[in-house]
Copies of this chain bind each other. A is one copy, B any other.
């Protein structure tokens, strides 16, 4: 049994991680901490998990955690993780950071978009970007895994084959996404109140959302040249789910078949990617699963491809992806403890 710890266990991503790890047959939770609820039982905060996880939450202490765990998950607001992780911690355990601190390779880009000082820039070189489908090999041996953002997971996976196979004009990429409200976290903000979100739809973070440079970094690596994307997130009145509708101008002569072949080539054997062709995904089709469902449509009139990806933002976009990374890193079987299907309506 692998001993694991979670720091930041009571936010939505953290709690989902506790859920998945509690049911995972190859791991034991040896450490669980929450600054807000230290001293309380986890199941007092989340009564739906009574009987599944009744551990008492500790005050956050990464030293202590690193001494009793071999895998340590961090689910903390930026830039807190960057000031906690050290070489010493990494010498003792694998760190999987669900936050943003180790995702960007370039510290200046981080500090520009996050408007914060990075606490451990020297570790950035060690961090592996934990999008399993793209970086499986490096994840296998990484000591510091930067779990991707939710929008980025969905957008990168949806666009990767089109970019990598050079099918679309790299200056034309527009990503229009919508997310459920769990994406805003569990902080007590007026904007997250039921009556402020319900029965409404809005764009937010237009041209400034922090997931933009993350998407650009990964797609640029696939393109082997620097590219920019237009990324616009929206908030939809539902708990979970991200849908990314991605637009690209097709390069001259590219056919529908080439698009399909690119998706097949990249994802044909991936357990957590469901290719749906032209019968596009809905977010409910992947709710509570670690699956990214992808469909695409070729527009003969405009010569564009519209590719649509859907994930559960808390699973494939956070906790599930983290478990997948742990499974790869610790050789536990990539699919262990992760669902690919769900029932509807859920």
Residues in A lying within 8 Å of B, measured CB to CB: 12, 15-16, 19, 46-52, 174, 176, 178, 180-182, 186, 188-190, 192-204, 206-207, 228, 230, 232, 234, 236-241, 243, 245, 247, 274, 276, 279-289, 297-299, 301-302, 304, 306, 308, 340-346
Contacts and interface: CB of A to CB of B under 8 A. Distances in A.
B230 A16 contact: no
Contacts of A241: 199-201
B341 A50 contact: yes
Nearest to A342: B48
Contact of A239 (B190, B199, B301, B308): B199
A201 to B, nearest CB: 5
A286 B51 CA distance: 12
18 contacts: A15-B343, A19-B342, A47-B285, A48-B285, A50-B274, A178-B234, A186-B190, A188-B189, A188-B190, A192-B193, A192-B194, A194-B196, A195-B239, A199-B239, A200-B238, A201-B243, A201-B283, A288-B343
A62 to B, nearest CB: 25
A10 to B, nearest CB: 10
Contacts of A234: 178, 243, 245
Number of copies: 4
A270 to B, nearest CB: 12
B198 A345 contact: yes
A230 B306 CA distance: 9
Contact of A198 (B19, B50, B206, B239): B239
A284 B199 contact: yes
A88 to B, nearest CB: 33
A239 B52 CA distance: 24
A188 B167 CA distance: 41
A215 to B, nearest CB: 13
Nearest to A278: B206
Contact of A203 (B188, B207, B245): B245
A207 B299 contact: yes
